[in-house]
Amino acid sequence: MGALDGRSDASSDGVDDYRRRARAWLTTNLPPLEGAAQRPTSEDLTPEVMAANRALQRKLFEAGYAGISWPKEYGGHGLSSAHEGAFLDEASAFAMPDFGALSATTFDICVPTMLTHGAPEFLRRFIPKVLSGDALVCQFFSEPSSGSDLAGARTRATRDGDQWILNGQKVWSTLAHLADWGLCLTRTDWDVPKHRGLTWFAVPCDAPGLTIRPIRQINETAEFCEDFFDDVVVPDTDRIGALNEGWAVTQTMLVLERGAGRRDAAIPPSGPGPMPEELVSLAQRAGRLADPLTRQRLARVHTTDFVGRVLTARIAEMGRLGELNPGLASYVKLFRGTYTPIRARLAVEIGGGPAMIWEGGDAKRAATSLAYLNGRSASIAGGTNEMQRNGIAERALGMPREPSFDAHRPFNEVVREAQNPKGTP
> Least distance in Å: CB of 408 to its own copies?
7
Residue-wise over 372-396: b if at least 16 C-beta within 10 A, else e?
Answer: bebbbbbbbbbbbbebbebbbbbbb
Judged by CB under 8 A, the stretch of 49-57, 105-113, 253-261, 264-272 that binds other proteins is 264-272
For residue 382, give Cα distances in angstroms to 104, 112, 147, 209, 253: 13, 18, 9, 27, 12
Interface with other proteins, residue 296, by CB under 8 A: yes
Which residues, 6 or more positions from 293, have their beta carbon under 8 angstroms from its beta carbon? Answer: none
> Least distance in Å: CB of 127 to other proteins?
31
The H-or-E segment that residue 228 falls in is strand 224-235
Interaction with its own copies in 267-306: which residues (CB under 8 A)?
A: 291-293, 296
127 interacts with, out of other proteins, its own copies, none, CB within 5 to 8 A per kind: none
Separation between Cα atoms, residue 352 and residue 286, nearest integer Å:
7
Interaction with its own copies in 55-114: which residues (CB under 8 A)?
A: none
Interface with other proteins, residue 90, by CB under 8 A: no
Interaction with other proteins in 349-408: which residues (CB under 8 A)?
A: 349, 352-354, 356-362, 366, 369, 372-373, 376-377, 379-381, 384-386, 388-394, 396-407
Burial class (CB in 10 A: 0-12, 13-18, 19+), 327: middle
Residue 266 has φ and ψ, to the nearest 5°, of: -80, -10
DSSP-derived secondary structure letter, 192: S
Judged by CB under 8 A, the stretch of 100-108, 124-132, 214-222, 254-262 that binds other proteins is 214-222
> Least distance in Å: CB of 354 to its own copies?
20
Beta strands in 58-149 (DSSP E): 137-140
156 interacts with, out of its own copies, other proteins, none, CB within 5 to 8 A per kind: none
> Least distance in Å: CB of 349 to its own copies?
12
Count other Cβ atoms within 10 Å, centred on residue 182: 26
> Least distance in Å: CB of 413 to other proteins?
9
From residue 157 to residue 196, the character string flagging contacts with other proteins as x (rule: CB under 8 A) and all else as - is: --------------xx------------------------
Interface with its own copies, residue 148, by CB under 8 A: no
Please say whether the beta carbons of 186 and 154 come within 8 A: no
Please say whether the beta carbons of 202 and 122 come within 8 A: yes
Q: Quick one: 99 or 172, whose CB is closer to other proteins?
A: 172
Residue 232 has φ and ψ, to the nearest 5°, of: -80, 125
73 is catalytic: no
> Least distance in Å: CB of 423 to its own copies?
7
Q: Quick one: 83 or 297, whose CB is closer to its own copies?
A: 297
Amino acid at 23: R
165 interacts with, out of its own copies, other proteins, none, CB within 5 to 8 A per kind: none
408 interacts with, out of its own copies, other proteins, none, CB within 5 to 8 A per kind: its own copies
Interaction with its own copies in 394-423: which residues (CB under 8 A)?
A: 400-401, 403-405, 407-408, 421, 423
Q: Quick one: 116 or 145, whose CB is closer to other proteins?
A: 145
> Least distance in Å: CB of 403 to its own copies?
5
Count other Cβ atoms within 10 Å, centred on residue 22: 21
Judged by CB under 8 A, the stretch of 159-167, 231-239, 246-254, 299-307 that binds other proteins is 299-307
Q: Quick one: 89 or 291, whose CB is closer to other proteins?
A: 291
For residue 280, give Cα distances in angstroms to 276, 338, 367: 6, 22, 14
Which residues, 6 or more positions from 268, have their beta carbon under 8 angstroms from its beta carbon? Answer: 309, 310, 313, 314
Count other Cβ atoms within 10 Å, centred on residue 27: 12
> Least distance in Å: CB of 401 to its own copies?
7
Which residues, 6 or more positions from 132, have their beta carbon under 8 angstroms from its beta carbon? Answer: 57, 58, 61, 66
Separation between Cα atoms, residue 49 and residue 106, nearest integer Å:
17
**Catalytic residue (choose from 90, 220, 257, 359):** 257
Which residues, 6 or more positions from 238, have their beta carbon under 8 angstroms from its beta carbon? Answer: 122, 201, 202, 203
Q: Quick one: 211 or 404, whose CB is closer to its own copies?
A: 404
- Please list the active-site residues: 257
Contacts with its own copies, residue ranges (CB under 8 A): 291-293, 296, 400-401, 403-405, 407-408, 421, 423-425
